[in-house]
Amino acid sequence: MAELSFLDRIEQTTGALGLRAESYRLLDLAPGDTCVDVACGAGHAVAELCRAQIKTIGVDSDPDAVSTARARTPDAVIHIGTSDRLPLEDESVDGYRAARLFHLLADPLPTLAEAYRVLRPGGRAVLVGQDYGFFLLDSSDQDMADVVLLGLESRSVAPRAARSFRDWLLDTGFHDPAVVVHNQVITDHRLLARQLESAASAAVGKALITRDDADTWLAEQADRGHRDRFLAILPTVLVAATR
């Protein structure tokens, strides 16, 4: 559960709160409507939607995450399940939300087909995801930073999936897509230290850099954090479309 505790800190940052709020705006739901939050994780969005009087169903494949989500919002319905086989009837929800999911999927089409199946006509789907090709990170050795970020990309099945959200929704039969880019600015090195270490290790594993290169670069980033010179900008793509 330590990982979920770490993610809880990320989810409470101003940027994360604003990103979720933007996804709710795009869903355009009213009290009493029903929404499914796919890949709901520890249930932050489920809790917030329920407080807004949206009947919210969470789905996630991680039993630990589902346990945390259920504890956070005991009255919510939260299932262990996969995005390509939702435990919902046809045309049974008014809103579909999926955040930080599609970079994990080798084939997005079954998941998109499920979104279309469970939404009522006129319902809204909102896909949210980072495109790791646009991750911006300041460094005195920018070439090394770019290589480390390639290591970060290598840890995902589809690290640039978000740039295809609009195409995929249109191809699935959705219409009137709206695209929004939300930029999260992070100046606290501690919030990303673990991800940077994992990215650097992945770059070493791919033989893109040496271990010494990685350690030197990570030390530079840590020093930036100590001197209040750390800067990362994470663009997140949100695409909403109507069934």
Q: pLDDT tens digits for 209-238?
A: 999 999 999 999 999 999 999 999 999 999
Asked if 50 and 71 count as a contact pair (C-beta separation under 8 A), the reply is no
Per the CB < 8 A criterion, the answer to whether 83 and 98 are in contact is yes
> Which parts of the chain sit beneath pLDDT 70?
1-9
d(CA 166, CA 240): 8
Establish how many alpha carbons lie within 13 A of residue 77's alpha carbon, considering only the half-sphere containing its beta carbon. Answer: 10
Q: Which domains does the chain have, with CATH numbers?
A: 2-242 (3.40.50.150)
Residue type for position 40: C
pTM of this prediction?
0.90
Using CB atoms within 10 A of its CB, is residue 212 exposed (0-12), middle (13-18) or buried (19+)? exposed
Gyration radius from the chain CA atoms: 19
Instruction: Determine the pLDDT at residue 36.
Output: 98
Q: Would you state the pLDDT for residue 2? A: 39
Whole-number percent of the chain with pLDDT over 90: 89
Give 133's contacts (C-beta < 8 A, 6+ positions apart): 153, 159, 160, 163
Round to whole Å and give the CA distance between 181 and 238.
6
Q: Are 32 and 186 in contact, with CB atoms under 8 Å apart?
A: no
Residue 56 phi, psi dihedral angles, 5° rounding: -115, 135
